[in-house]
């Protein structure tokens, strides 16, 4: 019974239309498109972290001539979540949001206008050093997560762009 189910699932999978996004490795169209994205400097420590994470993810195809520009604006906020009876903060939330646009350098057309974000909870402890270290670590983790979300959305947009028939 179990073998029949696996066989049926294996036969049905190609019919669902799913395709690996990065099939072909660094020679794939998506990888080439990601490698051709220029990411200008983004202000702030969070911007520096996001830009580095993005260039790491986009650089999978090596150095390519930029065909796209990714404009990113960040909103990095730290807010008090838990307040004790004596008005001291016991918990914080760090929120990192990115609004970004993928611009085709040849035409100036905005191919993608989207947002990505994430947040993390931080315990506020009696040691100020430990709290600051936790806030910084949260920013580093959030930058990685937001960069992952942005990369996935951009890769999907590039795939859709490649599927469009060219206007000739």
Model pLDDT for residues 19-45, shown as the tens digit of each residue: 555 544 555 567 778 888 999 999 999
Helix (H) or strand (E) holding 30: helix 29-35
Rounded to whole angstroms, the Cα distance separating 123 from 21 reads 39
pTM listed for this prediction: 0.79
Give all domains of the chain, ordered by start, each with its CATH number. 25-162 (3.30.160.150)
Q: For the chain, how far is it from start to end, CA to CA, in angstroms? A: 53
Rounded to whole angstroms, the Cα distance separating 5 from 134 reads 48
Q: Would you state the torsion angle of the CA atoms of residues 131, 137, 142, 148, taken in this order, to the nearest 10 degrees?
A: -170
Q: How many CB atoms lie within 10 A of CB 3?
A: 7
Model pLDDT for residues 86-145, shown as the tens digit of each residue: 777 888 999 999 999 999 999 999 999 999 999 999 888 889 899 899 999 999 999 999
Model pLDDT for residues 5-15, shown as the tens digit of each residue: 676 666 665 65
């Amino acid at each position: 019974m179990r073998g029949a189910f696996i066989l049926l699932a294996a036969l049905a999978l190609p019919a669902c239309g799913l395709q690996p996004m990065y099939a072909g490795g660094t020679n794939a169209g998506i990888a080439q498109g990601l490698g051709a994205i220029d990411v200008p400097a983004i202000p702030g420590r969070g911007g520096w972290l996001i830009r580095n994470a993005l260039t790491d993810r986009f650089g999978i195809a090596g150095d390519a001539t930029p065909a796209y520009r990714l404009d990113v604006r960040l909103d990095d906020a730290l807010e008090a979540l838990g307040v004790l009876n004596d008005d001291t903060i016991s918990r914080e939330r760090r929120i990192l949001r990115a609004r970004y646009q993928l611009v085709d350098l040849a035409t100036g057309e905005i191919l993608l206008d989207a947002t990505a974000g994430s947040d993390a909870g931080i315990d506020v402890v009696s040691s100020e050093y430990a709290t600051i270290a936790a806030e910084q670590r949260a920013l580093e983790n959030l930058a990685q997560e937001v960069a992952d979300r942005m990369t996935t959305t951009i890769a999907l947009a590039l795939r859709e762009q490649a599927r469009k028939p060219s206007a000739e």
